[in-house]
Amino acid sequence: MNTVVTYSKKGTIGLITVNNPPVNALSQAVRAGLQSGVEQGLADKGVEAMVILCEGRTFMAGADIREFGKPPLPPALPDVVYFMEDSPKPMIAAIHGTALGGGLEVALGCHFRIAVPTAKVGLPEVKLGLLPGAGGTQRLPRIAGVKAALDMIVSGDPIPAKKAKELGIIDEIVEGDLKAAALAFAKRVVAEKRPIRKVREMVAAVDNPTQFEDYSKDIAKKRRGFIAPFKCIEAVRASVDLPFSEGMTREREIFTELREGSQSKAQRHVFFAEREVVKIPGLPENTPIRDIKTVGVLGAGTMGGGIAMAFANAGIPVRLLDVKQEFIDRGLGVIQKNYANTVAKGRLKQEVMDQRMSLIKPTLSYDDLKDGDLVIEAVFEEMGVKKEVFGKLDTVCKPGAILASNTSYLNIDEIATATKRPQDVVGMHFFSPANVMRLLENVRGAKTADDVKATVMMIGKKIGKVPVMVGVCDGFVGNRMLAQRSRECYFMLEEGALPTQIDKVIYDFGFPMGPYAMSDMAGLDVGWRNRKAKFDRLTKREQENKILDKICEMGRYGQKTGAGFYKYDEKRNAMPDPVIEELIIRHSEEVGIKRRQISDQEIIERAIYVMINEGSKILEEGIAARPLDIDVVWIYGYGFPVYLGGPMFYADTIGLKKVYDAILKYSDMVGAQYWKPSPLLEKLAKEGKGFYS
């Protein structure tokens, strides 16, 4: 045996106990220990049955992520599970916490499974672009049925113990001490001479002849672009079509194919990046954290209301301030409606909604913010307004309170000059809807204190966000890169493309929607106002590209007015509008640009590669500390496809030389002022390296 798995005996029952903190991951030592434990139990003539249980807060919660990307070490988990299942003595899995991935596969290799009521079981491998590789796709359909197995494996979402028992995955739900219950259950199995049930000997059968084809069609839109969900269906199908041993071979073939593919590598990158991004390079791990017990939010509009909900959802009291009672009433009405919709869908209990609503206290007075530990303004995106607000907060808020701006592109350092405490000022850029979107782009000012940086990262995690720390520049990371894509897309409109083509190409690339469908949804007036604010800083060509101006001057602000780049029916379904197509073609004539056929490949290169180049500049300037910061911003804030890993990871996947060559091509075609290679990108490309290598 070894230090992470121990074997002991309680009467005639052998106990194999796993203790591999924090989540009892199935490391090589655990796999070897499990096998050794079973061997000891089999060799002991006084042992009639064996129980596998785990110390700590959970059963085995999956593979050891520290072994990802490394050569596998024996024993392989499928072999361990098969060996356990072949035991002539009953094997019982005693589950608490979560039995996930390999943990559930170990449990399925046992002959019986019991669990505490709070336990959950699942096979989440698909979320890493993989499938269960130790028999999960072959055993689960046999014991739970094909439909349940497909739902669990293709979604990757765990199910509670009660549901698992209904499906036959769990034999018994037990209360009280799990170890005592497991020993009692094992003794009953022996006393009643219950036959050993090997899951692999059960039969998996379809509910109807087209079940797998139908399931693929059902998930086609939701899992668009992902390979793994459809490969999971293929593997589950093998459990029906093939004998167990051949199904296992097929599962391993598909697993290996996925593991070596670019999508799984990208999804594993995102998995690790999300965990790494909360650590600020250069900031000691023991940096003090300020205590955040109450939060103030200025502005009861869409953004402010969403921010208030995000904190209330985490149980943190909020003071919601606005300048007029009607604004407060409207904002609280929207918050209440949002919660009520969630209750109506069965995803929230009424009493939880009432409790959250009670945490949001409206006010018209700045004085009510005096005790706030963190105050976030979500007012009009105009520097004068922001500085006026911060000047008031400086006089009202207590010493040590963090003063945060939700600005999406304004200079945090300039905002901080309105106060006598620039060390307490920071950016907290939420994304709309703020109660839903996971990204929180925290912006450090030149004088922002270290404990403020650490605190906003901590509070971001506490309210369920993925926080990223970035520096000050126009648009920070996300919007600065987006501005480059927007410019190129507008240029392509006047050169020969139409909104429908650009939107389709970007959608097919993997984004939730194209730039013009997105603009229509957000409101064209928002982008128009931003354009007018920056007009003097635009190049001559950008100033003369008045497509957005002309559309907005027609009163077409997008979905909310029934028309923007597209026209919309009463259900907000988009339809191409010949009026806009004619407007764009006429604009090209007015500015003297002869329209041409623009290929889909050119759209991808000009929309995506320009962002990669800007991301490289952001790294050079230290606005983002690491390429993973940029990837996380774009995945969780802008819908960059997870299976491509973010713009910087994607650049490495296709090769920086390819990106660099395209930049030089468009420098000649569009102009060097728009397409000048980042020195960092140029250096890496010429050295045959990537952002991560």
Give the catalytic positions in this structure: 105, 125
Read off φ and ψ for residue 526, nearest 5 degrees: -65, -50
**Distance between CA atoms of 677 and 679, rounded to whole angstroms?**
6
DSSP E strands in 425-510: the ranges are: 425-430, 439-443, 466-470
Instruction: Name the token pair of 174.
Output: 């037990």
- Buried b / exposed e across 6-21, counting CB within 10 Å, b at 16+? ebeeeeebbbbbbebe
Q: What sign has the CA pseudo-torsion 521, 524, 526, 527?
A: positive
How many residues can be counted in the chain?
Answer: 693
Residues 6 or more apart from 578 whose CB is under 8 A from it? none
Q: Which of 452, 454, 409 is nearest to 281 (CA)?
A: 454
Q: Tell me the β-bridge partners of 100.
A: 122
**Distance between CA atoms of 465 and 430, rounded to whole angstroms?**
9
Q: Are 93 and 104 in contact (CB under 8 A)?
A: no
Q: What is the DSSP letter of 69?
A: T
Residue with tokens 């494996």: 153
SS (H, E, C) 245-280: HHHHHHHHHHHHHHHHCHHHHHHHHHHHHHHHCCCC
Residue 562's Cα: distance from chain center in Å?
32
Instruction: Name the token pair of 98.
Output: 């979560």
692 three-class SS: coil
What's the CA dihedral at 19, 22, 24, 27 to 10 degrees? Answer: -100
492: exposed, middle or buried (C-beta count within 10 Å: 0-12, 13-18, 19+)? buried
15 three-class SS: strand
Q: Are 91 and 48 in contact (CB under 8 A)?
A: no
Q: What sign has the CA pseudo-torsion 227, 228, 234, 237?
A: negative
